Amino acid sequence: MEPTTPESGPGDELRVVHDHADRLFSWRYERERPQLVTLYNKAAASQWNSVTDLDWRIEVDPERVIDDEVPALRLARRAAALPGSPMAHFGEREFTELGVELFKAQLSQFMHGEQGAMMTAAKLVETVPWIDAKYYAATQTMDEARHTEVFARYLHEKIGDPYPMGPYLQAQIFGLLEDSRWDIAYLGMQIIIESLALAAFGDLLRRTSEPLLQKLLRYVMSDEARHVAFGIVSLTEFYRGLTSAELKERQEFLADNTLRNRLRTLTPEVWERMGLRVEQVLPNLMEAAAQPGAAGTGPFQTFQRAFFAKMVPNVRKLGLLDANDGYLRQRWGEAGLLEFEFAEDTASDYEAYDAVAADRATG
Ligand SMILES: [Fe+2]
Ligand SMILES: [Fe+2]
CATH for 329: 1.10.620
Q: Are 205 and 221 in contact (CB under 8 A)?
A: yes
C-alpha 108 – ligand 1 centre gap (Å): 13
Number of domains in the chain: 1
User: 236-242 long-range CB contacts below 8 Å, 24 or more apart?
Assistant: 236/317, 236/318, 236/319, 236/347, 237/33, 238/183, 239/183, 239/318, 239/319, 239/320, 240/319
The answer to whether residue 6 scores a pLDDT higher than 70 is: no
Give the integer Cα–Cα distance in Å for 14 and 6: 6
Query: Phi/psi of residue 208, each to 5°?
Result: -125, 145
Residue 189 falls within a domain, yes or no?
yes
Asked if the structure places residue 23 within a domain, the reply is: no
User: Looking at the whole model, is its pTM more than 0.75?
Assistant: yes
Q: Which ligand places an atom closest to the C-alpha of 195? A: 2
Q: Which residue has the higher pLDDT, 334 or 302?
A: 334
Give pLDDT, residue 289. 82
Tell me whether residue 237 is in a domain: yes
- The answer as to whether 27 is a domain residue is no
Average pLDDT, the chain: 90
What gap in Å lies between CA 258 and CA 332, rounded to an integer?
Answer: 9
**Ligand number nearest to the C-alpha of 189:** 2
- Ligand 2 center–CA 49 separation, angstroms: 16
Q: What is the mean pLDDT of residues 235-245?
A: 97
Residue 123 lies in a domain: yes
- How many Å lie between the centroid of ligand 1 and the Cα of residue 193? 10
Distance 204 CA to ligand 2 centre (A): 16
Residue 13 lies in a domain: no
Question: pLDDT value at position 278?
Answer: 86
End-to-end CA distance of the chain: 55
> Tell me, what DSSP letter sits at residue 64?
G
Is the confidence at residue 350, as pLDDT, over 50? yes
- Which ligand has the nearest atom to the CA of 229? 2
**Cα of 302 to ligand 1 centre, how many Å?**
21
User: Sign of the C-alpha dihedral, residues 344, 350, 356, 360?
Assistant: negative
The answer to whether residue 3 sits within a structural domain is no
Give domain status of residue 161, yes or no.
yes
pLDDT value for 299: 47
Average pLDDT over residues 4-8: 51
Banded pLDDT at 305 (limits 50, 70, 90) = confident
Percent of the chain with pLDDT over 90: 68
| Phi, psi for 66 (deg, rounded to 5) | -95, 125
Query: With 50 as the cut, is the pLDDT of residue 186 above it?
Result: yes
* Whether the predicted pLDDT of 253 surpasses 80: yes
**CA dist 3 to 6, 15, 26, Å?**
10, 14, 33
**Per-residue pLDDT at 140:** 98
Assess contact for 109 and 339: CB atoms under 8 A.
Answer: no
| Residue 12 pLDDT > 80 | no
Does 83 score more than 70 pLDDT?
yes
Res 362: pLDDT? 82
pLDDT at 151: 98
CA of residue 89 to ligand 2 center, whole Å: 41
**Cα 301 to averaged position of ligand 1 atoms, centre (Å):** 22
For residue 265, what are the domain limits?
41-361
Question: What's the CA-to-centroid distance between 184 and ligand 2, angstroms?
Answer: 15
Of 124, 282, 120, nearest to 197 (Cα)? Answer: 120
* Ligand 2 ion: residues within 5 Å (CB): 117, 194, 224, 227
Give every CB contact of residue 107 below 8 A, 6+ residues apart in sequence.
151, 154, 155, 159, 162
Identify the DSSP state of 67: S
Ligand 1 center–CA 294 separation, angstroms = 32
Average pLDDT over residues 98-111: 94
148 CA to middle of ligand 1, Å? 7
| pLDDT attached to residue 125 | 98
Q: What is the dihedral of CA 169, 175, 177, 183, to 10 degrees?
A: -110
Could you tell me the distance, in angstroms and rounded to a whole number, from the CA of residue 207 to the centre of ligand 2?
A: 21
